[in-house]
Amino acid sequence: MQYRVLLIEGNRMMLERLTAVIRDTKDFELAGRYQKAGDALKQGGVFHPNLILLDAEVESNVALIPEFGKAFPSVPVLCMNTRWNAENASHLVQAGAQGYLLKPFTRIELKEAVDTFAKGNMGASSCLIAFFSPKGKSGKTTLIANLALSLAAKTGDSVGIIDADLQFSDMSVFFNLAPQSTIVEAVRDVHFLSPVTLKPYYMPVTDRVSVLCGTKKPEYAEMVETKKFADVLAMSRNLFRYLLVDLPPGFGPISIAAAESSDMTILTASLNGGFEMLQMKRALEIFHDWDDFDERVRAVFTRVSPCNEETRQQLEQIVGCRVAGIVPNEYKLVSEAADNGRMAHDISPDSPLMHSINTIADRIISSQKAV
């Protein structure tokens, strides 16, 4: 597709710089450029732009975003700023902007921004799901990886996975990835990034599913600051319709930050015949303080036998929260998949395991429709 860009930038030097980048970028041409948004609004129509880049550092420009929407219906508006901030970005989205990029930008960043945002509204309705478990080996990573593929296949939407199980992260092994960058680098750099420049830190596993991999060594976990981690979550919301966050077992600053940012928190436990139900109930107590506990908190149990609706309802009664799904014990399939860096979703789509995970995906999708 050929983009005809209407560029609005108040600073003269920046205007020249961005003009040069647009002219140098393949598939992009400069249809018109303005220093004042009001002029662009009145005159720009004659150039028939199909992409608007708007300087959002000028407060009065932001107020004009709805006007651009009326004057140029179906033309995406991407806001430009020198620094990303979650609050500001959400304000721009509400005003009607499609996306966001930092200026000055490179040719690659411009193309990436259009690829990311022109296809859909940025983060306006993203759903962040934090996956927490009282104890490890709950089947959480298997669940998240396959759920991501299922959500993407069912909705056609983009799905991001963040592996925040910082010391013993597994997601890269599950997907057989050798990441160049991980959560450590994303958190380190977040204050210099925007959604567009954060995106390359994610490793694509399909055309719709990407993973921000966990640390390469346990000691790197210390480098992940909680506040900056929360910023990565907020920024990632702009990239994906569904964002699934794999958390370490137990409560710590990272898991608490992710749960607090979440639209939904799913607690997982594997039923091994020990005291998992007891520990699940203790963990759930922590979330009871939330006013919206009933809407926001779910449990998922793995290795459930017999894995049927009756059991699910019984478990729901025992733990006192909604059970989004139960997953049967399929050790052979799960281990074969993980050992070969493949997914049950792909190698055995009709298995009982995938049937359960698809049901969980359906429940998540319908809860989003309700929202």
Partner 1 sequence: MESGSGVIITVFSTASAVGKTFLATNLAAVLGSAGYRVCLMDLDLQFGDVCNYLAINPEKTLFEAQRDVANDAEGFDPLPYLVDYQCKDTSITVMAAPKLLEEAYNVDTDAVVEVTRKLAKEFDYIVVDMAPAFSELNLAILDITTIVTFVGIVDFIPTIKNMKSGWDTLKMIGYDGNRIRFVLNRGGSQTRIGLDEVEQILGSPFYHILPNDFHMAQQSIKEAGPLVLLHPDTELAEGIRELTAKYTNRDSLNNTQERESSGGWLSRLFE
Binding site for partner 1 (CB under 8 A): 134-138, 141, 167-168, 170, 173-174, 217-219, 221, 248-251, 270, 272-275, 278-279, 282-283, 285-286, 331, 334-336, 338-339
How far apart are CB 352 and partner 1 at their closest, in Å? 19
How far apart are CB 146 and partner 1 at their closest, in Å? 14
Closest of 257, 238, 235 to residue 248, by C-alpha = 257
Structure tokens at 319: 């733990």
Specify the residue, 167 or 311, whose C-beta has the smaller distance to partner 1: 167
Residue 302 parent element (H or E)? strand 297-302
How far apart are CB 128 and partner 1 at their closest, in Å? 23
Specify the residue, 57 or 246, whose C-beta has the smaller distance to partner 1: 246
Specify the residue, 85 or 167, whose C-beta has the smaller distance to partner 1: 167
Region of residue 48 (left: phi > 0; alpha: psi -120 to 50; beta: else):
left
How far apart are CB 346 and partner 1 at their closest, in Å? 17
Residue 94 parent element (H or E)? helix 86-95
Specify the residue, 73 or 273, whose C-beta has the smaller distance to partner 1: 273
Structure tokens at 226: 């909680």
Question: Which string of b and e fits 15-42 if b means at least 16 CB within 10 Å?
Answer: beebeebbeebeebebbbbbbebeebbe
Specify the residue, 170 or 263, whose C-beta has the smaller distance to partner 1: 170
How far apart are CB 217 and partner 1 at their closest, in Å? 6
Residue 310 vs residues 21, 79, 299, 306, 361: alpha-carbon distances, Å: 61, 51, 16, 9, 19
Alpha-helical segments (H) within 217-288: 226-236, 253-261, 276-287
How far apart are CB 173 and partner 1 at their closest, in Å? 5
How far the first Cα of the chain sits from its last, in Å, is 34
Residues 6+ apart with CB under 8 A from 138: 249, 268, 269, 270, 302
Specify the residue, 204 or 250, whose C-beta has the smaller distance to partner 1: 250
